Structure 1
């Protein structure tokens, strides 16, 4: 079995009197695709923010490749080999598609800043991978939502991460766009990049994830394969309510 690339141990985060994340423990194994699901407000994005240095845990530890992340800033964590996407996609509107990705390529993993020419070459390769190369010279703001999602992925991939965190990258997509995005996630995994995916589209979770962690009100309520968690009464209750869960138990 693969060794863990990310270890979350008893992680908790409070905002004043609100416990957003409460004593969450899990591992992400090297090379796997781990889904992180739960109802709105379950603490999923807060947990990703703690991994990436946007927020600091109130308690607990987060370790990447054996190195504690406590006290590190987002740019330091990025240079260690962790990249992420954001729920709300905000490209640099005054830059082209290529220039947006080159920014990520210039400040990628490893700590050494690339030259502009090297960053542009890396950006072109990533744009080709996500099927956006024909739009390279277009203003980023001209892309439709599916294109902006791919651009967000490209910006993160340009940092050459070993661990990629995707925060609702399928939100706003429909039908064939979701299928294409799932194929892209599989292609990213085939490159040897470990993925942690926050997603509400259950077709994605069951279709690409090896394992799933479920949060509700900041606590982990389930962990297992997609088949295990989607039939877990506690998970069904969290998503659909206690009455539905009781009916599910009786069938």
Structure 2
């Protein structure tokens, strides 16, 4: 079966999965597609990794097709230039997050891109701070955590919404995972009051950094006792 035929078949299957209610709910979050993500993952599992097909799906510009791209591609096959071009064409927060998790993080250029994207605007900045948070949690050696806190303190309050969310996440993870910076991280969160009024569902930890840090530290300490 040719790649072009396969592309046509996949696009028809994506169209068949389109649901108006799902699209309406997604659009409220800034995402322009109407495909259930569980169904999308099932589709990817059936088609398996096909890098050439993934590239053609991305070229359609369709958000659902591009979400599928992140599940079918070979992350290490992309160059820095290709990844830079792809991210600058992303307008959906969900697509950005899948792109970072499924393509950039498992690829060969995460650290280089982290540094070049961190000071970007909105979604590009969000990507850079998401990659930074990954390092804060899993591989903090070599990071200047004090300098990261300085930048968060200077910039987070005025940052665009999507970037602000990622910076706030980084602030919280510094406080959770690095006790020597915990007091300062909580203090920055209290002074900036970012997301202080953000609604949280019952049983969920709110994203306001001082509460987030304190609650996660409490849970970690209780787990250690058990």
Q: TM-score range by the shorter chain?
A: 0.3 to 0.5
TM-score (normalised: structure 2):
0.35
* Larger fraction in helix: 2
Higher relative contact order (Cα pairs below 8 Å, separated by 6+ residues): 1
* Larger fraction in strand: 1
Mark the structure with the bigger radius of gyration: 2
